[in-house]
Structure 1
């Protein structure tokens, strides 16, 4: 299961026969990703797919020295379970 980062379309995704799982984002300001929506096809749910997408996004944010906004509930939940990424969250 490979996560692909499409910087042009502002998303991380994984391809499956049933379609794509994706985590989309926007840049509300320079150096800040608003991680706003996660979708996983029904047959792939409950298999850790969303976690793989979120982890890939966290590693991208970290590697660039960026911050993120966890607008998507899946992202917020992941960060609560993985507090090592909490320091990357944009202060409001």
Structure 2
């Protein structure tokens, strides 16, 4: 599945009606806020949501930004993966 990007989303499918997407907003010069993740029923259980979170993580790294996750799903994925510590601003379960 090809993950595409526009100004505020990574998505799978057509841009006007994607099958899955993760939406983010720029916050200041150095942060991104993930506020919503959606995976359509036909794509669930395939790791698509995690792939979308990973796409935002790579984007944040390329732009030297940090991520704040208001979306509960994205926050859980980011919290549970130590590989994202360099970009994620949030409490870890061990804190």
Q: TM-score range by the shorter chain?
A: 0.7 to 0.9
Moved over 3 A (4+): none
1:2 equivalent to 2:12? Answer no
List runs of 5+ in structure 1 lacking aligned partners: none
Given the two structures, how large is their TM-score scaled by the length of structure 2? 0.82
- Check conservation: 1:68, 1:89, Cα contact below 8 A: yes
Q: 1:11: which partner in 2? A: 9
Q: Equivalent residues in 2 for 1:59-78 (5 A)?
A: 59-78=58-77
- Secondary structure of the 1:87 match is coil
Stretches of structure 2 lacking an aligned partner (at least 5 in a row): none
Cα distance change on mapping 1:79 and 1:31 into 2, 3 Å: same
| Displacement after TM superposition at 1:91 (Å) | 6.3
The answer to whether the 8 A contact 1:38-1:50 is kept is yes
Secondary structure in structure 2 of the residue aligned to 1:88: coil
Query: Which TM-score applies when normalising by structure 1?
Result: 0.84
C-alpha deviation, 1:72, in angstroms: 0.9
Partners of 1:32 and 1:90 within 8 A in 2: no
Name the one with the larger helix percent.
1
For the aligned residue pairs, the C-alpha RMSD in angstroms reads 2.0
- 1:43-82 correspondence runs (5 A): 43-82=42-81
